[in-house]
Structure 1
Amino acid sequence: MTITTLEKLDARGRELVFTGARTTNSFADTPVTDEELRDIWELTRWTPTMANTQPLRVAFVRTPEGKERLLPHIAEGNYAKTQAAPATAILAVDNRWHDQIPTVFPIRPEMRDHFEADEAARSHAGHFSAGLQAGAFILSTRAAGLAAGPILGYDKDGVDKEFFPDGNWSTILVVNVGHPGENPWFDRLPRVPEDAALAWA
């Protein structure tokens, strides 16, 4: 089916995903199922990326053993909430994402060889598109009825060594996932005003 007329997300949908959604700082002990986590990925994978290359990869940490491996690499300020979250997603870029080009962008399979030969271009393009997907992952978590708590306070090298020792994936963001716990939100902080953020030409 080809969609030719776009519809606006209704007010409730906008509130759930954007205007009313908040970064979660505490989590309830309500379990999150693997099916719910797959639902987040199912939404995320439709994100636009350069030439449909889709370089984002996700490692879901949701067992006690997995958390024991992850927590030593989490900064003190993020430790308690990461420990409490029923699932933590390690978002990573696949450093060999270009190997998928003949499959995901079959009209230009030769692009694989271009990126194989140019490591700097490969890294830039991969991180750019994975960053787009990482933002969408947070919105997808909200759309799936769960709360997201992205954090940057972690030892990237330690996480990579522990979870991606072959070097094929590189961590770009860690996101705690679950249901909000007690006092989960900080007070809403101001947004950058329009006159400081927009330019018109």
Structure 2
Amino acid sequence: MTRADPDTLDLLLTEARTHYGWQDRPVADETLREMYDIAKMGPTSMNQQPMRILFIRSAEAKAKLEPLMMEGNRAKTMSAPVVAIVGYDTNFYEKLPELFPPVPKAKQMYEGNDAMIEDHGFRNGTLQAAYLMIAARAVGLDVGPMSGFDKGGVDAAFFAGTAIKTNFIINLGYADEDKLFRRLPRIPFEEATTTV
């Protein structure tokens, strides 16, 4: 295969939607593993893999998260079968000797360079999170990504004492199509691109 067929493109992006309502239907652990195993294969700089995911299912963990969400995001998050707090590990470079053996001293490039660590960790972690959403759709899940939450509060509540920082939150499950919002416009090619 050298090109995705139209049905695959529709599933992954062109007809895919951000969802706000969820069926009362569980998501299997095996589905989450399959989603991750697809997403981890996406390209990143020097094969950096800073993305870290905390999957929230329990009522206790959701109760801890609820007050940290913006009011408009609370109900949709609490009703999702799985909430993924997607973060990035600022110690990602420690694994470079294993993940990027072509450059044995890749790890040393980052040691003591906090600005580079933050820049590369956030960028590559965000790339991986985008792959995660596409992978979720590929395994039959629907997604509802959000950035409306108290980032510092989420870091303190769920990642205290670690090198992980929150990037954004993705609700995962099987969508309730009756709660789907209308599709919003996109910027056309002519407006968004330049060729020089």
2:101 to 98, 106, 110: 106
Partners in 1 of 2:20 and 2:6 — Cα distance? 25
Structure 1 regions of 5+ residues with no counterpart? 1-5
SS at match of 1:117: coil
1:157 pairs with 2:167: no
- Deviation, 1:183, is 2.0
- Number of residue equivalences: 196
Matches within 5 A, 1:102-141: 102-141=97-136
| CA deviation map 1:34-62 (0-9, x unaligned) | 11111111111011111001111111001
Asked whether the 8 Å contact 1:160–1:167 carries over to 2, the reply is no
Partners in 1 of 2:91 and 2:44 — Cα distance? 15
1:86 pairs with 2:86: no
Task: Name 1:28's counterpart in structure 2.
Answer: 23
Which residue identity is paired with 2:134?
A: L
List 4+ stretches of structure 1 deviating above 4 A: none
| CA deviation map 1:137-166 (0-9, x unaligned) | 111111110100001111111111111111
TM-score relative to the length of structure 2: 0.96
1:77 pairs with 2:72: yes
- Deviation, 1:96, is 0.3
- Deviation, 1:117, is 2.1
Identity of aligned residues (%): 36
Q: CA RMSD in A?
A: 1.1
Partners in 2 of 1:196 and 1:177 — Cα distance? 32
TM-score relative to the length of structure 1: 0.94
Partners in 2 of 1:101 and 1:169 — Cα distance? 17
Task: Name 1:64's counterpart in structure 2.
Answer: 59
Which residue identity is paired with 1:28?
A: Q
Partners in 2 of 1:66 and 1:107 — Cα distance? 41
